[in-house]
Structures are given as C-alpha cells and as structure tokens.
C-alpha cells in the first residue's frame, strides 16, 4: 500500500473519520457534523480532511462558508482502503455486534458470512452474521429478539445494517445444508467452553 496513505492512517482520528464517511456514502458532512459523528475533535477533523482530500479519499466542496465532505467515489481508492480492515464500517459493525451479543450466556459464537466475509461488499451493504446459540439455555424466539435488538442499536449508531441469522447448536451439528456452509465461515467471536 502506498506509503502516503499509511502515514495518513497512522495519525489520530483518521480511521474513525474514514469509517464514518464510508458508513454514510451518500451523505455530505460539514466538518463539525463529521467530527461529532466520528467522535474526533473538530481541529483534528479539519486537518484530517485536508490530508484525505490530498490523497483522494475524501471529496470536499464549498457551499457558502461551509465545507462539505463525503467519501470518494474512486473505486481504486476504495479497494485500497478495503485492505485496511479498521477502515471498513461493515467489519467494525460485525465486531461490535459480536461483542454485544457475547454478553448473553446462551450465545456460543458469531460467524461472518456473505459478501462482507468474502471481501466483495460495497459501501452501504448489509452484514450477514450467524449467531449460534445454546438451545438448552434459550428459546429460538428469545435469541432472535435479542439479536435483532443489538442489530437495531448498531444500525442507529453506525448506519450499518447487521442481519443476524440465529441457529441453534443442534442445527449447526447437522450434516449438509446451511449448517455445513456456515461451519466453514470466519468466526468473529466464540465462547471458549
């Protein structure tokens, strides 16, 4: 990856800003709005935008006295950014979802599948996560309700849709079908037993 891009990403707040811009690909942010959404100080955001504009990661327009910022539409730049996992809002949302679902004692593991798992996703695409639960400790409907509640929280906070698929340990132990396919997917969290 280009040295200049790595230098930019190493500075404080840059990854949070890029992740925020990628989470809202169609939105035009003012510097202040972007700073609030990314949780980064305004002056840091101001400096970061200058660097990101120079690296063609961000597009900046002037609307009156306000600078409007959005993520680039340049696919080659977006492909390069995909190599830096921390800048990927879908992967970050998947990890956050797994961390929150892990507080439930019945949760056994979370597996990432679909286009995000394959690294073929585009900005704004939803994240597919299989939530494996212990059916001796929780009923399917309760597991689904809890997973959807966490999904809704993540969507409100990050603008990334996480779509949970709840599967019992019993279903995951079956041969063939969806369970067989999911066993080969990336485990993003697992309860050690």
Rounded-to-10 torsion of CA 93, 95, 96, 97: 80
Residue 2 is predicted with a pLDDT of 67
Residue 193 is predicted with a pLDDT of 56
Predicted structure pTM score: 0.71
Residue 40 is predicted with a pLDDT of 94
Residue 78 is predicted with a pLDDT of 82
Confidence grade of residue 151 (pLDDT, cut at 50, 70, 90)? very high
Domains of the chain: 3-85 (1.10.10.10), 88-190 (3.30.460.10)
Residue 123 pLDDT greater than 90, yes or no: no
> Buried b vs exposed e over 105-143: b needs ≥16 C-beta within 10 Å?
ebbbbbbbbbebbeeebebeebbbbbbbbbbeebeeeeb
Distance from C-alpha of 63 to C-alpha of 77, rounded to nearest angstrom? 25
Residue 191, classed as helix, strand or coil, is: coil
Least confident window among 18-32, 68-82, 125-139, 151-165:
68-82
Query: Which ranges of 86-131 does DSSP label H, i.e. alpha helix?
Result: 89-101, 115-118
pLDDT tens per residue across span 15-61: 999 989 988 888 999 999 999 999 999 999 999 999 999 989 999 99
Residue 74 is predicted with a pLDDT of 87
């Amino acid at each position: 990856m280009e040295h200049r891009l790595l230098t930019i990403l190493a500075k404080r707040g840059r990854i949070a800003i890029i992740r925020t811009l990628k989470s809202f690909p169609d939105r035009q942010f003012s510097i202040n709005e972007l700073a609030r959404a990314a949780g980064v100080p305004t002056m840091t955001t101001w400096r970061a935008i200058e660097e990101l504009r120079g690296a063609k990661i961000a597009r900046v327009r002037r609307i009156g006295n306000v600078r409007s910022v959005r993520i680039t539409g340049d696919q080659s730049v977006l492909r390069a950014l995909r190599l830096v996992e921390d800048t990927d809002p879908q992967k970050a949302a998947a990890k956050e979802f797994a961390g929150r679902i892990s507080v439930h004692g019945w949760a056994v593991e979370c597996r990432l599948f679909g286009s995000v798992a394959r690294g073929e996703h585009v900005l704004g695409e939803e994240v597919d996560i299989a939530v494996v639960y212990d059916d001796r400790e929780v009923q399917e409907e309760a597991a689904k309700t809890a997973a959807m509640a966490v999904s809704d929280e993540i969507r409100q906070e990050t603008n990334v849709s996480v779509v949970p698929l709840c599967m019992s340990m019993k279903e995951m132990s079956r041969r063939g079908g969806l369970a067989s396919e999911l066993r080969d997917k990336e485990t993003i969290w697992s309860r050690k037993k």
